[in-house]
């Protein structure tokens, strides 16, 4: 009925800022910024018959790392058989995995065919057997895992640098990284804990 168009009154928006402030504060309170991080591992399949299979591995291909209840680290392979300090572990593991001098007491070096790359010579069959006692401290166990991990990644980095001219993290994710990971595949076996030196 009215003449001309009636103007729609503007909505009062002065409280929008307050509302969004309340939302913001709510989110600040209920959320957390921390990102979970950790050391990734893959457990072996559960198979009650697997224990016998471990026996078939040749002695030179096995490095045993035992952490006992006094949190001492005992390393045994073809070359070494003694209690070590954690700072030595990485280099010992590197020497064992890589076997640079083709030592007959360390893992056998074999030709290994990697898909889409070719044949490399590496210690495919080496195994690092990590054993611990039920009363071993978790932090020590974690540190041992961490050192072993470090040994693998240093070897991978060195190989990647030699072959592709760059570190592993800079290699191509689809084509190069799987090759490097295959050359030095992580073979850490986390065996069941044993009761060393306790009366049974």
Partner 1 sequence: MSKFRSNGKREMPELNTSSLPDLIFTVLFFFMMVTSMREVEVKVQVKTPNGTTEIEKLERKSLVSHIYIGPPSKTYRAVLGPAPRIQLNENFAEVEAIREFVSAERESMAEKDKPLMKMSLKIDKDVQMGIVNDVKLELRKARALNIVYSAGIDKSQMK
Q: Which residues bind partner 1 (CB under 8 A)?
A: 13-14, 16-17, 19-21, 23-24, 27-28, 30-33, 35-46, 67, 132-139, 141-143, 145-146, 149-150, 153, 190, 192-193
Q: How far is the CB of 16 from partner 1 (least distance, A)?
A: 4
Q: How far is the CB of 80 from partner 1 (least distance, A)?
A: 23
CA-wise closest residue to 162 among 147, 149, 179: 179
How far from 192 is each of 12, 57, 134, 136, CA to CA, in Å? Answer: 69, 17, 9, 13
Q: Which is nearer to partner 1, 5 or 31 (CB)?
A: 31
Helix (H) or strand (E) holding 157: helix 138-163
Q: How far is the CB of 46 from partner 1 (least distance, A)?
A: 4
Q: How far is the CB of 35 from partner 1 (least distance, A)?
A: 5
Query: Using CA atoms, how far apart are residues 69 and 198, in angstroms rounded to an integer?
Result: 10
Q: How far is the CB of 186 from partner 1 (least distance, A)?
A: 11
**What's the residue count for the chain?**
200
How far from 155 is each of 82, 159, 183, CA to CA, in Å? Answer: 24, 6, 10
Q: Which is nearer to partner 1, 78 or 193 (CB)?
A: 193
Cα 45-51-53 angle, rounded to 5 deg: 90
Q: Which is nearer to partner 1, 60 or 141 (CB)?
A: 141
Q: Which is nearer to partner 1, 16 or 175 (CB)?
A: 16
Q: Which is nearer to partner 1, 31 or 115 (CB)?
A: 31
From its phi and psi, is residue 71 left (phi > 0), alpha (psi between -120 and 50) or beta?
A: left
């Amino acid at each position: 009925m009215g003449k001309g168009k009636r103007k729609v009154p503007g909505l009062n928006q002065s409280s929008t800022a307050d509302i969004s402030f309340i939302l913001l504060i709510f989110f600040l309170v209920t959320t957390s910024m921390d990102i979970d991080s950790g050391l990734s591992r893959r457990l072996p399949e559960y198979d009650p018959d697997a224990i016998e299979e471990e026996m078939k591995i040749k002695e030179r291909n096995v490095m045993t790392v035992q952490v006992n209840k006094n949190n001492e680290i005992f390393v045994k392979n073809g070359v070494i058989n003694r209690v070590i300090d954690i700072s030595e572990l990485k280099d010992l593991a590197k020497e064992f995995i890589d076997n640079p001098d083709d030592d007959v007491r360390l893992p056998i070096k074999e030709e290994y065919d990697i898909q889409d790359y070719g044949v490399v010579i590496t210690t495919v069959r080496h195994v690092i057997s990590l054993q611990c006692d039920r009363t071993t401290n978790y932090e020590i166990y974690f540190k041992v895992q961490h050192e072993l991990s470090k040994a693998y990644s240093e070897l991978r980095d060195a190989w990647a640098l030699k072959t592709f001219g760059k570190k592993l993290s800079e290699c191509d994710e689809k084509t190069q990284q799987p090759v490097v990971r295959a050359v030095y595949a992580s073979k850490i076996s986390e065996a069941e804990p044993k009761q060393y030196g306790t009366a049974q």
